[in-house]
Amino acid sequence: MFSIHYRDNSCSARTGELCLPHGPVTTPAFMPVGTAGSVKGLEPLQVAELGYRLILGNTYHLFLRPGLEVLSRFGGLHRFTGWKHNILTDSGGFQVYSLAQLRKMHDEGVEFQSHIDGSRHFFTPESVVHAQRVFGSDIQMALDYCTGFAVDRQEAERAVRITTDWARRAAQAWRALDEDYHGLLFPIVQGNFHHDLRRRSAAEISELDLPGVAIGGLSVGEPFPVFEEFVAATAQLLPFDKPRYVMGIGTPEYVLSAIEHGIDLFDCVFPTRAGRNGLAFTDRGRVVLKHAMHARSEASLQEDCDCATCRQYSRAYLRHLFKAGELLGPVLVSRHNLRFMSRLVERARAAIAGGRFQQFKREFLAGYGRGES
């Protein structure tokens, strides 16, 4: 199901292939986020053209809207949205933590009120597995208990205990699903920013012997060096031969750090959110289209980018679209940013295969850090 093709012997970076129900995915892979069943501003065919074969959906959002009844009637998310490749859905744990109102964590599950209409709901590890079965998720995530950067040790311990318990229950529910369903289940390692708790969580989660493992509770407000310390330490505690997924990272710096430490999958809203706000990624740093320096620029966002935005439009025109509040601006820059991210991981994979990932990372970040703005 997961095979490792190349390892870079100067670090923990590796390339591989993950076989999923809707086709193979080359790793390391960045996953665009389609929260409510749409990668914001782009059509499924466009997302595939940008090089993606695996996108992410949010259980919390999809459960609330359009809801299980509609998705069940359509036979799942793939047919509902028209996306023909793989979908990973998160478990809702993070959104309950970050979005929902009046959240109460019980040992049994989590009670919350919808941020949309205030309606009351209760997620259990089992109900979340069944919801993702209705979605037809190619990878589903076990319900977890996410904590922020500055919680006390007692809450961090409780989160580890509950996350492990829920992962066991999710595994049991997932193993009992019908035979027609071939989606995988990944549990999530928590432990906040305590190395002993990360070790305990990683050991308990790995013991479940599920098809992959995620590292949760990172990129929740901690400084970059702390992220890097914990991603490196936690990755080492995970089974070597299973795909590893770090949730919620999507800037070039974070993604390259995760790859260096042996991570295979990551997702983030940042490339599309930045794109919607006129912030474009380039090899020479971020371009802020609203800045006056781009007003007369005939250059594309990035000269050697093969995306349909760079092949057709100047920075001056893109800037104009944002200044004039035109709908097309967010669409065009989101598309470029997603292509930038898929090219970044393509280049990272090539560097790993050539045993020169560290050099690639150093050179890329030196150029990126210069900053176009």
Cα–Cα distance, 290 to 305 (Å, whole number)? 21
Contact status: 37 vs a copy of itself (CB under 8 A):
yes
- Which of 320/356 has CB closer to a copy of itself? 320
Q: Cβ(287)–Cβ(340) under 8 Å? A: no
74 binds a copy of itself (CB under 8 A): yes
Residue 38 as a binder of a copy of itself (CB under 8 A): the answer is yes
Axis crossing angle, helix 357-370 with helix 252-260, rounded to the nearest 10: 170
57 binds a copy of itself (CB under 8 A): no
Counting Cα atoms < 13 Å in the Cβ hemisphere of 350 gives 6
Q: Single out the residue of 52, 80, 94, 364 in contact with a copy of itself (rule: CB under 8 A).
A: 80
Which of 126, 136, 121 minimizes the C-alpha distance to 72? 136
> Which is closer to a copy of itself, CB of 57 or CB of 212?
57
Among 103, 323, 362, 370, binds a copy of itself (CB under 8 A): 323
Among 4, 11, 36, 350, binds a copy of itself (CB under 8 A): 36
285 binds a copy of itself (CB under 8 A): no
The Cα 63–Cα 124 span in angstroms is 13
Choices 72-80, 118-126, 147-155, 188-196; region in contact with a copy of itself by CB under 8 A: 72-80
Q: Which is closer to a copy of itself, CB of 36 or CB of 365?
A: 36
Residue 43 makes contact with a copy of itself by CB under 8 A: yes
Q: Which stretch binds a copy of itself (CB under 8 A): 129-137, 179-187, 318-326, 345-353?
A: 318-326
Question: Looking at the DSSP assignment, which residues form a beta bridge with residue 282?
Answer: 285
Is the CB of residue 190 less than 8 Å from the CB of residue 160? yes
Asked whether the beta carbons of 283 and 302 are under 8 A apart, the reply is yes
**Least distance from C-beta 314 to a copy of itself, angstroms?**
8
Cβ 284 vs Cβ 364: under 8 Å: no
Q: Identify which range of 12-20, 118-126, 231-239, 308-316 contacts a copy of itself by CB under 8 A.
A: 308-316
Residue 321 engages a copy of itself in binding (rule: CB under 8 A): yes
CB atoms within 10 A of CB 263: 28
Binding residue for a copy of itself, selected from 78, 200, 276, 343, defined by CB under 8 A: 276
Question: C-beta of 346: minimal distance to a copy of itself in Å?
Answer: 25
CA 347 – CA 336 distance, rounded (Å): 16
Task: Select the residue interacting with a copy of itself from 7, 61, 85, 361 (CB under 8 A).
Answer: 61
Q: Which residues are catalytic?
A: 90, 267
Whether 111 contacts 103, CB under 8 Å: yes
SS3 22: coil
Question: Radius of gyration over alpha carbons of the chain, in Å?
Answer: 20
CB of 279 to a copy of itself, least distance (A): 16
State which of residues 4, 316, 353, 365 lies at the interface with a copy of itself (CB under 8 A). 316
- Token readout for 78 is 């793939």
Q: Is residue 299 a contact point for a copy of itself (CB under 8 A)?
A: no
Q: Which residues of 98-131 are buried (b: 16+ CB within 10 A; e: fewer)?
A: ebbeeeebeeebbbbebeeeeeebebbbbbbbeb
Q: Are strands 244-246 and 188-189 parallel, antiparallel or unpaired?
A: unpaired
Indicate the residue among 80 and 254 with the shorter CB distance to a copy of itself: 80
Q: Any contact of residue 331 with a copy of itself (CB under 8 A)?
A: yes
| The only residue of 295, 359, 367, 370 in contact with a copy of itself, by rule CB under 8 A | 295
Task: Please report, as ranges, the residues that interact with a copy of itself according to CB under 8 A.
Answer: 36-38, 40-45, 61, 65-66, 70, 73-74, 80-82, 276, 295-296, 298, 308, 312-314, 316-317, 320-321, 323-324, 326-328, 330-332
